[in-house]
Amino acid sequence: MATHLPSPRSAPALPSSTRPTAGSVLVAAMLFQGVTATAGGTMLAAGSLPAISVPGTITPPDAFLDGLPFDTWLIPGLVLGIGLGVSALVISWGLVRRPAWQWLSPLERRTGQHWSWAASIVLGAGLLLWIMVQVTLIPLSWLQLAYGGLGASILVLATRPSVRTWLAPRD
């Protein structure tokens, strides 16, 4: 007796409260990005302040700053820590908790998704842009390749149909 399984096209959409595997991986990727970028940005910024002597701070060679509009690593550290770190932590919280923020409701109406979906797309693209700028200005390293892959993964995961269904507005 043959058993007929529904085709993937006719399968019902997941309820928006059920987190798909791709959604869990997206949350994990955002948490990883958030923790590592916040820590790295903090160490980079703190390492550029002579009044602060913190063990473990990192400061790339000043020669990498040649041709850039910065004299120290403070601004790049803040961009990394806040722009790509703290924001990823907020987005991961938004993905998990799905808070309804009225000031973001126009974005949600426009996209048809929870704001954390659009924020994930922006962060993934921003991370890729950050890495592309780095590659053009400083020598290539394995970290750049890894974080470029992370940015691309965030974009791919956020655009998965199961993630979009999961992040559709709740009724």
> Please, where are the H alpha helices in 48-101?
74-78, 87-97
- Which tokens in the block code for residue 117? 């979906």
The identity of residue 66, as a single letter, is D
Q: What is the pLDDT of residues 102-118, one digit of tens each?
A: 999 999 999 999 999 99
Tell me if 73 sits within 8 A of 167, measured CB to CB. Answer: no
Helix (H, G, I), strand (E, B) or coil at 12: coil
**CA-to-CA distance for 115 and 107, rounded, in angstroms?**
7
Q: What is the pLDDT of residues 122-166, one digit of tens each?
A: 999 999 999 999 999 888 999 999 999 999 999 999 999 999 999
Q: What's the burial of 122, exposed, middle or buried (CB within 10 Å: 0-12/13-18/19+)?
A: middle
Q: Which pLDDT band, with edges at 50, 70 and 90, does 11 fall under?
A: very low
The identity of residue 13, as a single letter, is A
pLDDT at 50: 66
- Which tokens in the block code for residue 151? 């940015």
pLDDT at 31: 98
